[in-house]
Amino acid sequence: MPENDRLIGNLDEIDLEFVEREATPRFLMKFSIQLHLARLSLSNTVSVLEIFGVERARSTVHNWVHKAELQPESGRSPDQVAVDETVIRIDDEQYWLYAAVDPGSSELLHTKLEPTRTNAISYAFFAELREKHDVDDAVFLVDGATPLKYACSRHGLDFKYQKHGNRNSVERVFREVKRRTSSFSNCFSHVDPDTADDWLRSFSFAWNQLI
């Protein structure tokens, strides 16, 4: 299925319950949210709206994205889970993005943005992942990071070290996130960490619609 068809076909999954008074047609609101999360900067998304005769500020589209509170569906039961963390910058501050991916489908299962990287934070990430998905029988693919192995052991989860192979699925996600944040500076400049974390969950939703 062409990517544009997938974009339009999944608009119904975007909930606009937050909308009270908004003159923009709901289809265009949903379409704008999906466009921004999938490919376009806020400026280009606003330009698309103008094609339909709707003029909106970039901040308006930004607010639509965050108020929609999108996130990946829960209840997955993958055979394997690739888990990793990487550095994400918000202005001049360094944060750690934790991500779990199903290598079989390349779907993002869970993300979390944290100010540091510790055993306790890794343990908490795995706890949230287990609450959202049925992963207790899955094999976790981790690299040599001690906090990830520690978390798996504390939760009693089966894991194995893997540098490449199916773990490439999570690296692919990280490459796309970093491409977005480097290309579209409005994503992670002049925002607080909670807003960035919220954008990452919304990105995960869009990622899963498009893979």
The tens digit of pLDDT for each residue in 141-193 reads: 998 789 999 999 999 999 988 776 676 777 787 777 777 665 544 446 667 88
Q: Which residues contact 166 (CB under 8 A, 6 or more apart)?
A: 80, 82, 103, 141
For residue 121, give both structure tokens.
């934070």
Residue 75: count other Cβ atoms within 10 Å of its Cβ: 7
State which CATH number among 3.20.20.70, 3.30.930.20, 3.30.420.10, 3.30.1130.10 fits the domain covering 80-191: 3.30.420.10
Domain with CATH 3.30.420.10 in the chain: 80-191
Closest C-alpha to 163, from 171, 174, 155: 171
Span 66-98, pLDDT tens digits: 787 787 889 999 999 999 888 888 888 889 999
